[in-house]
Amino acid sequence: RPVYEQLGFKWINNGRTWCITDNRLNIHPPGPEELALAEATGKGDIEALNSFTNIDLNTALCNGMRLLELAAHCKQTAAAEWLIAHGATCGALDAWDLGWKDRAPAILAKEPEEVNRLYGDYQYTLLHVAAERNDIALARLALSARPDLRITDAIHNGNPLGWAHHLHRKEIEEMIKAYIQHEERSRNS
């Protein structure tokens, strides 16, 4: 970090924006407008955000994150609200990561397929994320939205139960097993 600061960079927050380990930067190099938009989002600079017009706020940045994910990662709720007000789509995980625990269930209720949305490089679901983070409340929320437990991630080819087991997330593993048993009983009734 000191090297970057000596070159004039300012530290905003730790994040994936500095950590591009594949060829994405060469394939989709960010232009000046994308950089300025990402910086304004990460800093929560609403004045700077107001200068952007007619821009797709749901397009992924070169690091794979959408602007709303970047706002959540940097804990910039005002920037997130601005993005949503100007057309960015807020998913259940975005709301959860922004601390909007009341909005996440509402999003899942309105858009049930959101529970099976694929995230990040792993291309894994909300329940995978819950297992990875050992987030019991998020796992409970995902299970309440009736996820497809057959979905596997793109890297390890594991379903949420496999992730919970492999990561030793005993409570989440038991929750998923109980959910499976409940679903089987419901089908057999």
State pLDDT tens for residues 118-162: 998 899 999 999 999 999 999 999 999 999 999 999 999 999 999
Distances from the Cα of 30 to the Cαs of 21, 58, 67, 143, in angstroms? 15, 15, 13, 37
Instruction: Look at the block and give the residue holding tokens 């929560």.
Output: 44
∠ CA 107-108-110, rounded to 5°: 65
> Model confidence over 72-98: pLDDT tens digits?
999 999 999 999 999 999 999 999 999
The neighbouring-strand residues paired with 119 are 124
Residue 37: pLDDT over 70:
yes
Better-scored residue on pLDDT, 60 or 51: 51
Residue 17: pLDDT over 60:
no
In our burial notation (b when 16+ CB lie closer than 10 A, e otherwise), range 71-98 reads bbbbebeebbbbbbeeebebbbbbbbbb
**Range in 35-39, 118-122, 181-185 the model is least confident about:** 118-122
Residue 21: pLDDT over 70:
no
CB-based contact 169:142 (threshold 8 Å): no
Residues 55-69 have a mean pLDDT of 89
Q: Write down the pTM of the prediction.
A: 0.82
